[in-house]
Amino acid sequence: MKVLLVDDSRTMRNIWKKVITTINNSEAVEAGDGLEGLKAVKEQGPFHLMLVDWNMPNMDGLTMVKKVRETNKTTPIIMVTTEAEKPRIIEAIKAGVNNYVVKPFTPETLLEKIDETLKKVPQPA
């Protein structure tokens, strides 16, 4: 499973990566903001899953998700963010996010959300 991790914090990407590597045959590709994320989608895709932070410099995660969804309606996207207010969660879901994890989180919570998301969304071959 090829997973795109988009967060401006390398610390957070490392934490996500540790969780991802517990899943069999997983490979993580990292991006430091929404612009790098879009570049990775174009040059290193397709991905089976994307984890995207909201608040990032250059291009935020919500904008990135909207741009991804212009051409790709199927790849599951989980937003992992400190933005926890209900209107923000609704905004993210309207933009095309499949699931939502609020920071702080435990590795178990993130793994559960990944599992839940992958079960709901049909995967590419």
Strands (E), 1-125: 2-6, 27-31, 49-52, 77-81, 99-102
> Is 57 a residue that touches other proteins (CB under 8 A)?
yes
Supply the DSSP string of 108-120, one letter for each residue.
Answer: HHHHHHHHHHHHH
Structure tokens at 50: 């994307």
Q: How far is the CB of 87 from other proteins (least distance, A)?
A: 8
> Is 36 a residue that touches other proteins (CB under 8 A)?
no
Q: How far is the CB of 23 from other proteins (least distance, A)?
A: 18
Chain residues binding other proteins by CB under 8 A are 8-12, 14-15, 18, 55-57, 81-85, 87, 102-106
